[in-house]
């Protein structure tokens, strides 16, 4: 049992632990504003370090691969955004509104960075293309996720207000730009403490999940969601995973990308980032619904980690036999 536990991805273990902690000890009452303020500061620091770490030279060097990057951006934000919109529309009559909106939120998020690159490497994909693609998607996500969500949400109750948009730009975009500006002076320091900064990344994600899910627990999510609702969430997430991985793999084949680039495209296009999704949800949505909106992403993320490992193993064996 212990050996099996150790084989589970550390990020998955952290997310599960945050959900369990929020269930038994949720942040409520007067403590919630303090917790939310802590999350906001942590998110600011997270995106500041993102800006410091992403090498501008590396990003510009990889931007020349237009045959990979342009279709990938359209897929991640366009095709998957529409898939999320269809999932929202198709489930709105059967599950709580905030939960259905979670599928739309999931659809407009960018890819993961670290795990997309790791799985691409394990599968025999192009690591350079994977790093640049995932980094570019996350940079664009800072600019595109919020307005895309607002645009596709239309007349929904959770359309973003101007005040929320300013808050998002202040906590996400501003520190990222500052990090890029300071990169010249902080590069050596960031490299020296890379391992500690990576721990901070995981901690901020877990904190964001904990605070967001506390709101859902306060609204009694476990008793409000019937087994048939959970079944709908699981089925729709499975369908979205099938569309994400299957669609982007077929797209790479249609574009006749090299096998390494096609594999890089697969993992960058099939995954969704909880690193951005969890903290951002606590900023975008009221505390009462943030955890509920986040639930489809949590399910999707946990499933994608398992599927990515299986797919990477199969592709790696295929590369060896080829």
pLDDT at 168: 61
Q: Is residue 266 part of a domain?
A: yes
In a domain, 2, yes or no: no
Question: Within its chain, how far is the Cα of 95 from the centroid?
Answer: 23
Tokens of 258: 């090299």
- Count of domains in the chain? 1
Residue 161 CB-density burial (10 A; 0-12 exposed, 13-18 middle, 19+ buried): exposed
Please tell me the predicted confidence (pLDDT) of residue 162. Answer: 55
Is residue 241 included in any domain, yes or no?
yes
Give Cβ neighbours of residue 273 (< 8 Å, ≥ 6 apart): 109, 110, 111, 112, 113, 138, 141
pLDDT of 202-233, one tens digit each?
A: 777 678 778 777 877 776 777 777 889 999 99
Please check whether residue 291 is in contact with residue 215, taking contact to mean a CB–CB distance below 8 angstroms: yes
Give residue 122's pLDDT: 77
Question: How high is the pLDDT of residue 165?
Answer: 59
Q: Are 224 and 99 in contact (CB under 8 A)?
A: no
Q: Is residue 54, in this structure, part of any structural domain at all? A: yes
User: Measuring CA to CA, which residue among 129, 112, 117, 97 is closest to residue 293?
Assistant: 97
Q: What is the pTM of this model?
A: 0.74
- Under-50 pLDDT residues of the chain: 156-159
**Residue 184 is assigned to a structural domain of this protein:** yes
Structure tokens at 57: 């030279």
Q: Which long-range contacts (CB under 8 A, 24 or more apart) does 12-20 make?
A: 12/302, 12/305, 14/202, 14/205, 14/206, 15/205, 15/206, 15/209, 15/274, 15/298, 15/301, 15/302, 16/302, 17/206, 18/206, 18/207, 18/209, 18/210, 18/213, 19/209, 19/210, 19/213, 19/298
In a domain, 307, yes or no: yes
Residue 284 located in a structural domain: yes
In whole angstroms, how large is the CA radius of gyration of the chain? 19
**Full domain range(s) for residue 83:** 10-316
pLDDT of residue 119: 77
- What is residue 109's predicted lDDT score, i.e. its pLDDT? 93
Q: What is the pLDDT of residues 29-41, one digit of tens each?
A: 778 788 878 877 8
CATH classification at residue 264 = 1.20.1530.20
Q: Could you tell me the sign of the dihedral formed by the alpha carbons of 51, 56, 58, 62, in that order?
A: positive
Whether the CB-CB separation of 176 and 50 falls below 8 Å is answered with yes
CA angle 196, 197, 199 (to 5 degrees): 65
The pLDDT of residue 320 is 56
Any domain includes 321? no
Query: Can you give the pLDDT at residue 157?
Result: 47
Quick: pLDDT tens for 270-306. 999 887 888 788 888 887 788 889 899 988 988 887 7
* Residue 135: predicted pLDDT: 73
Could you tell me if 172 and 43 are in contact, meaning their C-beta atoms sit under 8 angstroms apart?
yes
- What is the 3 state secondary structure string of 108-127? CCCCCCHHHHHHHHHCCCCH
Could you give the CA distance from residue 219 to residue 216 in angstroms, rounded to a whole number?
A: 5
């Amino acid at each position: 049992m212990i050996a099996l536990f150790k084989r589970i991805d550390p990020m998955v273990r952290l997310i599960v632990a945050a959900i369990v902690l929020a269930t038994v000890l949720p942040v409520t009452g007067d403590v919630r504003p303090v917790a939310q303020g802590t999350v906001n500061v942590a998110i600011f620091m997270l995106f500041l370090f993102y800006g410091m770490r992403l090498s501008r030279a590396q990003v510009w060097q990889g931007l020349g691969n237009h045959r990979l990057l342009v279709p990938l951006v359209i897929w991640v934000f366009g095709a998957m955004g529409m898939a999320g919109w269809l999932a929202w529309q198709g489930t709105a009559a059967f599950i709580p509104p905030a939960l259905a909106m979670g599928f739309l939120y999931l659809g407009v998020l960018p890819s993961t960075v670290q795990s997309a690159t790791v799985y691409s490497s394990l599968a025999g994909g192009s690591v350079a293309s994977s790093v640049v693609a995932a980094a570019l998607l996350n940079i664009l996500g800072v600019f595109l996720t919020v307005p895309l969500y607002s645009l596709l949400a239309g007349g929904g109750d959770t359309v973003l207000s101007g005040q929320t948009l300013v808050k998002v730009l202040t906590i996400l975009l501003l520190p990222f730009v500052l990090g890029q500006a300071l990169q010249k002076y902080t590069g050596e320091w960031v490299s020296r403490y890379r391992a500690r900064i990576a721990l901070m990344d995981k901690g901020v994600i877990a904190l964001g999940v904990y605070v967001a899910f506390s709101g859902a627990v306060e609204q009694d999510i476990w008793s409000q969601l019937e087994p048939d609702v959970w079944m709908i969430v699981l089925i729709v997430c499975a369908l979205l995973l099938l569309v994400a991985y299957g669609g982007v793999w077929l797209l790479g084949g249609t574009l006749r990308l090299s096998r390494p680039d096609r594999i890089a495209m697969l993992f960058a296009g099939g995954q969704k980032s909880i690193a951005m999704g969890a903290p951002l949800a606590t900023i975008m949505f009221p505390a009462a619904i943030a955890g509920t909106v986040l639930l489809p992403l949590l399910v999707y993320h946990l499933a994608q980690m398992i599927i990515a490992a299986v797919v990477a193993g199969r592709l790696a064996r295929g590369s060896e036999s080829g």
